[in-house]
Chain A
Amino acid sequence: MDSSSKPSQNNWKGLFYNIAFFLNGLLLFLLLFESRFSVPYWMQAIGRMHPLVLHFPLVVLMLYAFWVLIVDKPDSVRWNSNLSDLLLLIGTFTAVVAAFSGFILSKEDGYESNTLFWHKWMGVAISVGSIAWYGFRTYLTPWKLSSKFFAAGFLLLLTIGGHLGGNLTHGEDFLISPVADLSTEENKIPLEEAKIYADLVQPVLQQKCYACHNAEKSKGGLQMQTIELLVKGGKSGALWDTTRADLGLLLNRIHLPLDDKKHMSPRGKAQLTDEEVVLLAEWIKMGSDFDQMVSSLSEQSPVYAYAQNVLGGGRTEEQYDFDAADADKVKELNTTYRLIKSLSAESPALFVNFYNRTNFKSKDIEDLLALKEQIVSMDLSKMPVKDEDLKIIARFPELRKLILNFTDIKGETLGELQKLAKLRELSISGTSVRITQVKKLKEIPSLKRVYVWSTGLSTEEFALLKKEKKVSYETGYRSDTIKLALNPPIIENEDQIISGNTAIRLKHQIPGTTIRYTVDGSDPDSVHSLVYSKPVTIDKNTKLKAKAFKNGWYGSKGVDKYFFRSTYHIDSVRLITPPDVKYPAQRDITIANGVKSDNSPSSGKWLGYRENDFQAYLLFKKPVKAHNVTLSMLRNVGGFIFPPVRVEVWGGKDEKNLKLLKVLTPEMPVQTTGNVENLSLEADFALQELSCIKLIAKPLAKLPLWHPGKGEKAWVFVDEVFVN
């Protein structure tokens, strides 16, 4: 070390020592006249340096004290004394800076409490003690026993003083709260048993208000620790008043700006959270009842939501107190028909689901006994579980939920389930259990819900069960009193064109339904119409109508389908007039291609005419013996598609030798006629040989007055023509 720097170093040391001495004096002086001292605003910044500075003396002085404690020979001291002196000086200097700034900080709002009192005086003791130590360091040589006691005492002072300071900024139980929480978690009160005041409001007051409003230290004359004192209020009066818009003093003070002197809790102290403020407001609004249960609130109430957050609900998992099962064992017992899985990645509990009825054996349950300590839920629905199997199931002591829907149990051994002390939920829907057995279920100690829908139980027996308080029974939906309309039957034949004897098949998906039908165009009824038992054979143009009927149901709407007989294949067609450009379909071949369209005008299978008549020749290479021509046409009133006003059928050897065979004047729709229908216009005439047929169909020139398009031209649509 450079010798020239030595004096200057000593000067520095002296200077620091002197400043420290001076500050200690100032500190003691101010303490003496504390009540008359008020902090000038520019000094507040010094006060707020306290948290920054305080760690230096804490660490440095502790280091020094430790060093004193472990030194045993004067020998080693000489070697270290320069360093150790410097250490103590730094400690001393920073200690007084910390104490001084701490003192100034303590003058700010919000730090009045016992803790502060002790912290302040210990801080002063550390500061004064350390400067004394520095001053007498030559007498208090480290290897002396007295020095060691002094050092030990100093360590204790630093620890406690520091801890109290920590408490001031972070709250009383900051240090041990993570550990303390563990032990209290178990004691959380279930939501159903919680009271609004005792379990929600009081804890808030306890955390945020009691510190200043207690028996020893009733700021503003207010004590809050008992219900009586709380109701009484403080110097300024009662705490709440529901007739006032701000609900009274308590909430008024809470809602004041943080800077306001009267804001509660005072600045610097732990503040109420928004949720806590809402809780207090709602509780006061509801009449500040000290006994009201949380469960009496609607689930929409903000207090209920608060309770859920505080007391659980949300994401809290049920705690299981058993160990997880051996993973290999679980894996071994898992099959494609028996799923065994953990409830979640963290849970030791297992659930089991069974699938596929045909593969099920009782042994499949028995095998699981290896995991009986972990299985909490078992779903056996639709498996052929027998009464005896319940004896095996009764050996799973951890079961909470058991689903036996649509199993083969008769209920003889339901009593066995009483051994399941933890069973909460039992589903026996769709089984043939009887009331006497079901009634005994309430003896299962933890049972809360039973599902008994679709069992053999009667309505009266259900009513009896509903009276039971401890267990709630889900009886499900009953259909006896409900009467709905059946859906119409289905005509299975897709092809509407028949060429000879054809079997028409009808069906209905609901078992036990009677289908009645007619082939004469009349509406089927439930008494006179033919009952469908086997396919209906038809061989001519037929409109088949059918309805479905069943006891306990209203009859269905009718379904109908027109079957067109087509005896002769038309060799070619020639359209005399072109169809409208919007509906050309496949032009000439459209009406003889054997393809029926559905009732959609835009299917591309309809020829549409509006400006002119539909006129076409049907040509046969060999003469055919015919007595009937049938046109399949469309009615779509809303779409301006009407039947033709006049249909003429001409026939003969060729185009030049035709005579009028038949004229049809189809009935025009009236306002009440159904909107859409596939029409069959049949022209019958005397049997004769024909090689050429000419058809003319005239569209309606003016739509009737009731129609939205009154006065406009109607359309004529045709998709197929049949010759018989």
Chain B
Amino acid sequence: MEKQVFDFGINTTRRHFLSKLSLGLGSAALGSLLIPDIFKGSGESDMNDLVAGLPHFAPKAKRVIYLFQNGAPSQLDLFDYKPMLNKMHGEDLPESIRGGQRLTGMTANQAKFPLAGSVFNFKQHGKSGAWMSELLPHMASIADDLCIIKTLNTEAINHDPALTFFQTGAQVGNRPSMGSWLSYGLGSENQNLPGFCVLLSRGKGNGQGVYSKLWTNGFLDSVHQGVQFSSGENPVLYLNDPEGMDRSQRRNMLDKLSELNQGTYEDFGDPEITAKVQQYEMAFRMQTAVPEITDMSKEPESIVKMYGPECLVPGTYAANCLLARKLSEQGVRFIQLYHQGWDSHGGLPNEIKGQCMDVDQASAALITDLKQRGLLDETLVIWGGEFGRTNYCQGTLTKDNYGRDHHPRAFTVWMAGGGIKPGVVYGETDEFGYNIVKDPVHVHDFHATILNQLGLDHEKLVFKHQGRRYRLTDVAGKLVNGIIA
């Protein structure tokens, strides 16, 4: 065999070699015509380039603002109008409707499941004729900008797994959050700011915790982690230089530091080192970019009236909405708000009033504000909780007071802008508001659709970790074409 190889070597003439070579080249050239991307460089690591990803196809939306209503608002008192519940107020939920649904420990032992009609009045709004209750006058006024999905459904029945599922596509922790996936897939637009910001606020209703695992980067690179803004006067802490230190000293310090880091990188080749250097550099640029953004004093009075006067009180939902708009305007890819206090197991009519007072005006204002700046087209705004609330009462039912337990089978979320059809009510629930009768949207479908709006194919946005490829949508998810404009 070795001899044959040797003979082949010495017996090959130049002419022979060139003619074979030209054939080979020709076939490769033809092949490359058929597979255009084949010779595009892809082996180069994009670790040292923070402007990493590009969308797979032309995106409708460039940014997302997710107004998460933590604790799960009652869809039956806000969006999903069910007169049948008022008619049957106090009667037991038929077992045929409940259909063996798993219940939380809070109502599993209840002897009866008395149906509770909403105490609030509903009306239809806008050209779409969307039903909304009197609690949401501002959102009602922009009904034609909203796509109200009544048929979201999830698998989890308790807050932590449900919230984690919505944020990361899995009920257990440690997977990357949606914002981290987007930061990984699309990179940051404005390199002077983090690509994924988190803003927290809390209402007076019964609250549920939020924790940093919800904005974790999971197994993705740490630059994709969500940055939590503080709810005080200084949204980003420790951004100011210490007294007596000026910008040039800081610059010198960073230059020297990065020289040292570069040396270490050359020795060990650990990409986390370059990531760290870039984080330092971003922090340096944030020192000028952040104060510019968080300064609310230049907002015109019409804006203050639009979001409501609370918007200038740091840490409120209204202030966070306004800040979200400003961050989004400056190219922050994903802004995650959480507003706590929707978990009304008892005394719902009273609690929900306060919660709606907190969020109604500012949520609507955010849409109107983006619209008047010409940014709504490229910004996807999402409003909703981790699940819905039951149509039956938890605890004692009276004529005007009730509580509602967690309900995963059908609940309402709305979206606006970002290439989502405006003025649409999507999906239907049965007359008890318990089960979906038309167009269900699972959390995975919801994720797939969001990614699609940002120009990402949810099946292609993958990261290989511990020997398997992970996706935000796990192994499921299909586009909800009915809501895509």
Binding site for B on A (CB under 8 A): 299-300, 305, 309, 313-315, 317-318, 334, 336-337, 339, 341-347, 353, 355-358, 381-382, 403, 405, 425, 427, 429, 449, 451, 453-454, 474-479, 482, 484-487, 490, 509-511, 552-553, 556
Contact = CB atoms under 8 A, between A and B. Distances in A.
Interface in B127-175: 128
B278 to A, nearest CB: 11
A454 B305 contact: no
A339 B374 contact: no
Contacts of B305: 479, 482, 484
B482 A487 contact: no
A339 B302 contact: no
Contacts of B288: 356, 358
B222 interface: no
B485 A425 contact: no
A355 B421 contact: no
Given A341-B51, A356-B192, A487-B313, A477 B302 contact: yes
A468 to B, nearest CB: 17
Q: Lowest 3 CB-CB distances: which A-B pairs, in order?
A: A476-B372, A509-B312, A479-B302
Contact of B190 (A317, A339, A358): A339
A403 B190 CA distance: 16
Interface in B23-58: 51, 54-58
A454 B298 CA distance: 13
B374 A403 contact: yes
Contacts of B481: 305, 309, 314
A299 B423 contact: yes
Contact of A305 (B191, B423, B482): B482
Given A336-B191, A353-B190, A487-B309, A427 B373 contact: yes
A381 B329 contact: yes
B484 interface: yes
Contacts, number: 123
B57 A344 contact: yes
Nearest to B326: A382
A300 B425 CA distance: 9
Contact of A299 (B56, B302, B424): B424
A622 to B, nearest CB: 43
Contacts of A305: 481-482
Contact of A405 (B292, B308, B373): B373
Nearest to B365: A477
B243 interface: no
Contacts of A487: 309-310, 313
Contacts of B310: 487
Contacts of A403: 373-374
A344 B61 CA distance: 12
A454 B309 contact: no
A486 B421 CA distance: 35
Nearest to A343: B58
A454 B301 CA distance: 11
Nearest to A300: B424
Contact of B484 (A314, A345, A475): A314
A357 B423 CA distance: 37
Count chain A CB atoms within 10 A of each CB in B57, B371, B372, B484 and give the residue with the most: B372
Contact of A347 (B58, B190, B331): B58
A357 B292 contact: yes
Nearest to B316: A487
Nearest to B281: A336
A355 B373 CA distance: 16
B351 to A, nearest CB: 15
Interface-centre pick from B59, B365, B481 (highest chain A CB count, 10 A)? B481
A305 B190 CA distance: 36
Q: Which of A315, A475, A486 counts the most B-chain CB atoms under 10 A from its CB?
A: A315
Given A454-B300, A454-B302, A355 B374 contact: no
Contacts of A485: 309
Nearest to B306: A477
Contacts of A509: 296, 309, 312-313
Nearest to B60: A315
Contacts of A427: 373-374
Contacts of A425: 374
Given A356-B289, A427-B373, A484-B309, 4 more contacts: A313-B485, A342-B54, A344-B455, A429-B372
Given A339-B51, A355-B192, A429 B59 contact: no
B221 interface: no
A360 to B, nearest CB: 12
A358 B287 CA distance: 13
B98 interface: no
Contact of B309 (A299, A315, A475, A510): A510
Contacts of A347: 58
B189 interface: yes
B102 interface: no
A299 B54 contact: no
A484 B302 contact: no
Contact of B371 (A314, A342, A476): A476
Contact of B369 (A358, A381, A477): A477
Contacts of A454: 300, 302, 372
Nearest to A485: B309
A349 to B, nearest CB: 8
Given A381-B329, A454-B372, A336 B56 contact: no
Contact of A355 (B297, B331, B368): B331
B304 interface: yes
Contacts of B304: 510
A694 B54 CA distance: 77
Given A427-B373, A476-B372, A318 B58 contact: yes
A43 to B, nearest CB: 45
Contact of B374 (A345, A429, A510): A429
30 contacts: A299-B424, A300-B424, A305-B481, A305-B482, A315-B452, A317-B58, A318-B58, A334-B51, A339-B191, A342-B54, A343-B55, A343-B58, A345-B55, A346-B56, A355-B330, A381-B329, A381-B373, A425-B374, A429-B373, A429-B374, A449-B374, A453-B372, A475-B372, A476-B368, A477-B372, A479-B305, A487-B310, A509-B312, A552-B301, A553-B309
Q: Which of B312, B329, B374, B455 gathers the greatest number of chain A CB atoms within 10 Å?
A: B374
Interface in B449-485: 452, 455, 481-482, 484-485
B331 A344 contact: no
A429 B374 CA distance: 9
Interface in B329-344: 329-331
B373 A453 contact: yes
Given A313-B485, A337-B192, A511-B297, A345 B54 contact: yes
B4 to A, nearest CB: 31
A476 B374 CA distance: 10
Interface in B173-195: 189-192
A451 B372 contact: yes
- Considering residues A337, A339, A358, A509, which has the most beta carbons from chain B within 10 angstroms of its beta carbon? A509
A353 B309 CA distance: 31
B287 to A, nearest CB: 11
Contacts of B423: 299
A217 to B, nearest CB: 38
A412 B485 CA distance: 37
A474 B485 contact: no
A56 B450 CA distance: 52
Contacts of A510: 301, 304, 309, 312
B251 interface: no
Contacts of A315: 57, 452
A339 B331 contact: yes
Contacts of B455: 344
Contact of B285 (A318, A336, A353, A476): A336
Given A339-B191, A356-B288, A357-B292, A346 B374 contact: no
Interface string B89-130: 000000000000000000000000000000000000000100
A344 B56 contact: yes
A412 to B, nearest CB: 22
